[in-house]
Amino acid sequence: MSVFGGPGHNEAPDRAGLRTSLLAWFDAAGRDLPWRAGVEGRRDPYRVWISEVLLQQTQVARGLTYYDRFLQAFPTVQALALASEADVLKAWEGCGYYARARNLHRAARQVASDGRFPDTYAGWRALPGVGPYTAAAVTSLAFGEARAVNDGNVRRVLARLYAQAAPSETWVQAQADALLDSQRPGAWNEALMDLGATICTPRSPRCSDCPVSKYCCAFAEGRPAAYPAPKARAAVQAKEAVAVLIGGHTHAVLERRTGSLLGGLMGLPMEVVSDGETAEQALQRLCERLQADHTTLLGQVTHTMTHRRITLRVYAARAPLPLRSVADSALSRLDHKALELDVRRQAALLTSG
């Protein structure tokens, strides 16, 4: 019987027992991650901050590579503050959601100007791009402030502990606040997140290995994977676009993109196919803008970003425009896929020759 008071249970939660069990497991089995180096509650706030922002949209396995690369480029907040936005975006290349990198850069400049990191939740929330989750994570992990985090892993663990099918953000935060170990807030937050990432996983949770299964209503019911109920997913919006490759996959005409999705990145000249327009008409509009001609279809690539799936037709073209080094420019994954078409074309020409 769960002490969390699932359906038909009226006992008060044994929070002390839960905390003891989960923290003992975490001390023995918590993940060894580079940003966790240092004394609990007094870690390097810069490294904690970078890791938390990076892992918001990136799994840890991939995030480790990106984290190392970013820290090599900008080992301190001062180095990040002094960098150009182009260099920051290049170091962030492949991570996606590039607004995170731009906000990191803006916030680093503010921290460098202030001469110190803020050491409170309110201070972190005042930085550009820092939301409640990041502020709670950094202040609990680096400064020992008693702040509970609320992310996808925490939501899933708490939903199962309480057998809550549709936990709202307000509900999750309230339960996380109530369960927080005020003596070890950083360790507690990481323990909840590690439990969700390694044992209390979305599919096939490993309840036999869970240190807190005896406290779990969903486990008591015998159907932990039923909680929380799947969220309704927003429909993916399909978009068509055309792009031209002037030059080749190592040096090409590149333009700086605008907008929230890929703003600040460089990319092949591109036009979205408007409603009621054909791809050929969009290509003509693009070529007129660039004064390009001799277009030849290289192929087509697709890429999904957030709730948008782009089908991009890529054409080789000629135009009297300066070429830029691809290796020195921050490009989206979509553009790298497009450039791969030229790599294949060159390989085919060599084979045929």
- The pLDDT of residue 79: 98
Question: What are 83-108's pLDDT values in tens digits?
Answer: 999 999 999 998 888 889 999 999 99
Coil, helix or strand at residue 241? strand
pTM equals 0.84
Question: What are 144-183's pLDDT values in tens digits?
Answer: 999 999 999 999 999 999 999 999 999 999 999 999 999 9
108, 342, 343 from 350: Cα distances, Å: 48, 12, 11
- The pLDDT of residue 47: 97
Nearest to 54 by CA among 115, 117, 104: 104
User: In degrees, to the nearest 5, what angle opens at C-alpha 161 toward C-alphas 179 and 145?
Assistant: 20
- Treating both helix axes as pointing N-terminal to C-terminal, what angle do 132-143 and 45-54 enclose, rounded to 10 degrees? 150
Range from 9-18, 22-31, 35-44, 246-255 carrying the lowest mean pLDDT: 9-18
Distance between terminal CA atoms of the chain? 74
Give the chain's domains with CATH numbers: 15-226 (1.10.340.30), 237-352 (3.90.79.10)
143, 252, 352, 353 from 346: Cα distances, Å: 54, 15, 10, 11
Question: What is the spatial distance between Cα 351 and Cα 102, in angstroms, rounded to a whole number?
Answer: 43
Catalytic residues: 52
Nearest to 132 by CA among 52, 77, 196, 70: 52
**11 pLDDT exceeds 70?**
no
Beta strands 266-267 and 255-256: pairing type? antiparallel
Please state, as a whole number, how many other Cβ atoms lie within 10 Å of the Cβ of residue 233: 7
The rounded mean pLDDT for the chain is 92
Per-residue confidence at 14, pLDDT binned at 50, 70, 90?
confident
- The pLDDT of residue 12: 46
**231 pLDDT exceeds 90?**
no
Per-residue confidence at 70, pLDDT binned at 50, 70, 90?
very high
Contact 61, 23 (CB under 8 A): no
Question: What is the spatial distance between Cα 172 and Cα 184, in angstroms, rounded to a whole number?
Answer: 20
**263 pLDDT exceeds 80?**
no
Per-residue confidence at 17, pLDDT binned at 50, 70, 90?
very high
- The pLDDT of residue 260: 60
Beta strands 237-246 and 255-256: pairing type? unpaired
Residue with tokens 């989750």: 133
Per-residue confidence at 61, pLDDT binned at 50, 70, 90?
confident
